[in-house]
Amino acid sequence: MALPASCLVILIMACYSSRTKGCVDPFVQNFLGVVSNSTEDKPLFLDYWLSGFVGRGIYHSVTDSGKEEGVFLTPDGTTVALAPLLMGIEAGLQQEANSPLSGLYPVTLAKNLGLSFLHFNSSLISEKLGPDGCWDNVTSPKIFTLSGTTSGTTDAWINGGMDGVILGRHLSGLTEHPLKISNVLEGYYCHRVEGLGLDAAPHLISTLRRQNFKELANVSVLQEQVLASLSVYWKLKGEAERVPQTELQKIVQEGVHEFVHRYMECPTIISRCQWGARPYRGWPTRLTLPLSSMFIHHTHHRQPCHTFQHCAEKMRAMQLFHQDDRGWDDIGYSFVAGSDGYLYEGRGWQWRGAHTRGHNSQGYGVAFIGNYTVERPPQRSLELVQHHLATCAVSAGRLVGNFTLHGHRQLVNTTCPGDGLYLEIMGWEHFR
């Protein structure tokens, strides 16, 4: 079930005021307490229709046909599961002064990660984590379909879990809790990035989810939380640990390292289906990895884009121009950086692009949306490419460690990527 953003606040307040049974299970109750039917907390009474809507919306599941339910599309273009978000907020609100947040990681991420790692180890599924998916319509989303077989912990659950940890930690640190959680959520999910882009944005926004989570968690913290959560989970089920301790530690260690790589070191990349790409025309050519280069471009748009909606619109317009006017098979770039804090998938990691004539097989073409003849992109957008995308590509074996970085103008007779951006990349480590 898709949850319109306008309904999110209603669901949050309903869940936390009435503490409906749909929000908890024995594992969650162990950390957040047993559901009470008393009216001491002044529950918000709901009519019959809204009560059903709340129950369906909070319940997270994946159907046999690959439909993920209990998730919503945020204004920034990412998909979030509601349940771990709610539970993280609850853990933060329940914290007593100066007491540790013992339930924050278990109810949001740790248990689910551990079970996914174990499931991968004992089955034939191809991925430990994920996958992401596609909405039927990003303007009026109703159905979210996964792009592959679920691992048990989807990208939407991980996004919701990260947000739950971030907001739970934030709320636990306040001397006085805000009267309206809706204000916190509105500021987190609905902040409009304009002008200077993310460089002038507040720290606590969903676009900065991975950076903020990275400040709170690391490999050792996550390994400890996953192992402890699995121990509690098995104890509550009355079962002995299913895997010898030494083997379990190895499985969790490997799984956590993959989680850190995919969801903390690598940047969020808005998929083709999310920005509304047309199909590729013809047959794409697979790249031979790892590649040796990265080529930097600008798109020459008069204005950058600061929102998912605006960036997606520009991606569609570029693809239309490249396919219909230039006669190419697809949008030319491998990846495109917006000023909204996200990268957008062009031809992606596996397929040869059409970005740097004579060199398309040797490197990835990465473009910044905007005209950078004089100015340069926002600092956070630059860091997204220079550090996060490049580091992710090297650690995943898609770029060689000593790759070279060039501006488009060094290889083709063009002014691209503009003087402002070119002067910036001349100071980057891999520039040659």
Among residues 346, 343, 278, which one has the least CA distance to residue 308? 343
H or E stretch including 14? helix 5-18
pTM for this entry: 0.90
Q: What's the rounded Cα separation, in Å, for the pair 268 and 364? A: 17
Pairing of strands 144-146, 133-135: antiparallel
CA distance readout (Å), 292 to 313, 401, 430: 31, 8, 11
**pLDDT, averaged in runs of 10, over the chain (432 residues):** 44 45 73 59 41 61 95 94 92 70 91 96 88 93 94 96 96 72 86 74 94 96 97 90 90 98 97 97 97 97 92 97 97 97 98 98 98 95 97 97 98 97 97 96
pLDDT on residue 3:
45
CB 432, CB 406: distance < 8 Å: yes
pLDDT on residue 42:
39
- The conformation of residue 241, written as its DSSP 8-state character, comes to -
Q: Which CATH number does 274-425 carry?
A: 3.40.80.10
Query: Which residues are within 8 A (CB) of 423 and not within 5 positions of it... i.e. 6 or more apart?
Result: 376
- Which stretches of 122-208 are DSSP H helices? 155-172, 181-189
pLDDT on residue 44:
38
Domain segments of the chain as ranges: 5-265, 274-425
CB 235, CB 96: distance < 8 Å: no
pLDDT on residue 32:
86
pLDDT on residue 377:
95
Q: What residue type is assigned to position 400 of the chain?
A: V
> What 3-state DSSP class applies to 187?
helix
Among residues 392, 152, 147, which one has the least CA distance to residue 264? 392
Query: Which residues are within 8 A (CB) of 18 and not within 5 positions of it... i.e. 6 or more apart?
Result: 43, 44, 45, 46
Pairing of strands 363-368, 335-337: parallel
Cα angle 388-389-393, degrees, rounded to a multiple of 5: 115
